[in-house]
Structure formats: C-alpha cells, structure tokens
C-alpha cells in the first residue's frame, strides 16, 4: 500500500485480532462485521422467546437503516431494549457500547465506512472453496 495504512478494516470480534490490530495499525479505524454480530443475536436473545422475531425485525430496522442518524439510533435502541428487556443483558450492553465500530449511523466518518459493514465477500469465497476441501 505504498507505506500507507489502510483507512479501516472490518473483522469479526476475534480476541487476537482485537488485540493485534491496534498494535500493527496506529491510525486505522477498526470496524466489526455486522454479519458476525447479527449471527449471535439468536443465542444471546434466545430464539425460543415468544417475541424473538418481532425483536429481530425491530433490531434489523435500526441496524441496517442507511438514513438513521446517531441520536435516533440511540433512542430506538433504548426503546427496543426496554420493550424486549435486553438492556441488562451483558452482551447487548457491550454491543451498544461498541456501536461506533459497527452501526452505520455511527460510522459515517469514513468515506465508505458506513456502507462497508460485513466480511461477507470473504465469507462467500471461503464457503465456495470449502466445498472442494477433502475431508
């Protein structure tokens, strides 16, 4: 990259990556992959809860909204959290605290930082090649 650091990177929340990125890249913004986070919602909230699908629908509506502003996101997150009693669940508190590393409304500071939210392309390629691995 001509001696320049990338502007940002999107990764999962692997503990090794979380520790290593700031050691290697001093000025780069580190964003979390929304695909990985949203995959965890079912286990953290519980698919057996009666209101699971309603909760996920509301959560997706604010997480993937390209037009929502940061203050509006925060207010809606708090409302959804109260309604579905997740404000006291540690994982949801952590995800809210780290919203500036994953939510479009809080990632508009980079040229395409708000648009790039997943490692999906990498996941698709990995999935494709795994079909040809010998077992």
Task: Give the pLDDT band (50/70/90) at residue 17.
Answer: confident
Each residue's pLDDT tens digit, 84-130: 999 999 999 999 988 877 666 666 665 554 444 444 444 554 554 45
Query: Between these two residues, 20 and 110, which has the higher pLDDT value?
Result: 20
Give the Cα separation of 22 and 71 in Å (integer).
28
pTM over 0.85: no
Contact 28, 5 (CB under 8 A): yes
């Amino acid at each position: 990259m001509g001696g320049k650091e990338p502007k940002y990177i999107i990764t999962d929340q692997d503990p090794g990556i979380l520790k290593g990125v700031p050691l290697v890249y001093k000025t780069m913004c580190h964003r979390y992959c929304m695909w990985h986070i949203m995959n965890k919602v079912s286990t953290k909230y519980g698919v057996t809860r009666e209101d699971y699908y309603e909760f996920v629908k509301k959560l997706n509506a604010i997480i993937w909204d390209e037009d929502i502003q940061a203050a509006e996101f925060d207010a809606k997150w708090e409302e959804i959290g109260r309604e579905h009693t997740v404000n006291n669940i540690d994982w949801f508190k952590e995800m809210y605290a780290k919203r500036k590393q994953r939510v479009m409304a809080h990632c508009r500071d980079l040229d395409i930082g708000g648009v790039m939210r997943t490692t999906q392309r990498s996941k698709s390629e990995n999935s494709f090649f795994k079909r040809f691995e010998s077992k």
